[in-house]
């Protein structure tokens, strides 16, 4: 029996909330591919996806107080393309790029997502989303056929606070109508998801898909939430 099953049976865990990017979905084929595709349509050709991925990662690490607003994204894209274009993307193709990431074919749903959500739902667990995102998330989840599994869907730009702030987790708890100790949060960022959730009194698991062997408090696949594998040996914290 999985850890979720055992906790649900004894009534300790009654809801599971999920991060979105890197946990439920990922950009496909990559951010760099999408950037290069849109830039090429505007005459900026011969930029490799690999180069743009590296520059995006560097710009993301350097970003401070990123609030997921449209202007935040414009600044991040400008930083990614700095020195590669005659004009900053915010003055040329940023609007098209922003809209491109609202399209479902720019994303891939991880293969373990639907079976896990179906399995947890069959156990009568409430399921929710807690995500640092913007106004594009709700329609995107609808078009990816994921929205139907979640209530609530808590989006940082809508509630005015972002992970790891306790406030966004408190907002989700209020929507769920449960005490924090009854909720497990799963995400792929130790600071944003695990530490943020635990500071708000939730249990938490770190998803590390690339890890060969999961350590305590980690899983390597969402399938472990429903399966009978090593997740049963993990400590969730709280």
Residues contacting 61, CB < 8 A, separation 6+: none
For 182-221, what is each residue's pLDDT tens digit? 999 999 999 999 999 999 999 999 999 987 776 889 999 9
Determine the average pLDDT of the residues in 125-136: 98
The verdict on pTM exceeding 0.85 is yes
In the chain the domains, ranked by start, together with CATH numbers, are: 3-24+110-233 (3.40.50.1000), 31-105 (1.10.150)
Residues contacting 129, CB < 8 A, separation 6+: 17, 18, 19, 20, 24, 141, 150, 152, 153, 154, 155
Contact between 85 and 68 under an 8 Å Cβ cutoff? The reply is: no
Determine the average pLDDT of the residues in 216-234: 71
Exposure b/e, 172-184, CB count within 10 A at least 16 = b:
bbebbebebebbb
Q: Is 31 exposed, middle or buried (0-12, 13-18, 19+ CB in 10 A)?
A: buried
Give the H/E segment covering residue 166.
helix 166-176
- Closest by alpha carbon to 187, among 128, 136, 118? 128
User: With 60 as the cut, is the pLDDT of residue 3 above it?
Assistant: no
């Amino acid at each position: 029996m999985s850890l979720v099953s055992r906790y649900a049976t004894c009534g300790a865990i009654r809801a599971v909330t999920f991060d979105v990017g890197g946990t439920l979905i990922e950009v496909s084929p990559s951010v760099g591919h999408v950037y290069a595709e849109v830039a090429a349509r505007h005459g900026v050709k011969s930029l490799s996806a690999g180069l743009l991925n590296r520059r995006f990662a560097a710009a993301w690490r350097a970003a401070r107080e990123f609030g997921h607003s449209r202007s935040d994204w414009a600044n991040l894209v400008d930083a990614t393309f700095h020195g590669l274009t005659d004009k900053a993307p915010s003055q040329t193709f940023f609007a098209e790029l922003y809209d491109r990431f609202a399209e479902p074919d720019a994303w891939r749903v991880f293969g373990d997502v639907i079976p896990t959500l179906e399995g947890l739902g069959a156990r009568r667990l409430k399921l929710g989303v807690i995500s640092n995102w913007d106004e594009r998330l709700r329609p995107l989840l609808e078009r990816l056929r994921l929205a139907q599994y979640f209530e609530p869907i808590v989006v940082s730009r809508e509630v005015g606070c972002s992970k790891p702030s306790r406030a966004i987790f408190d907002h989700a708890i209020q929507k769920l109508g449960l005490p924090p100790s009854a909720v497990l949060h799963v995400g792929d960022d130790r600071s944003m998801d695990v530490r943020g959730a635990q500071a708000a009194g939730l249990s938490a698991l770190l998803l590390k898909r690339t890890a060969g062997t999961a350590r305590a408090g980690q899983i390597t696949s969402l399938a472990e939430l429903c399966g009978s594998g090593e997740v049963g040996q993990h400590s969730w914290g709280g």
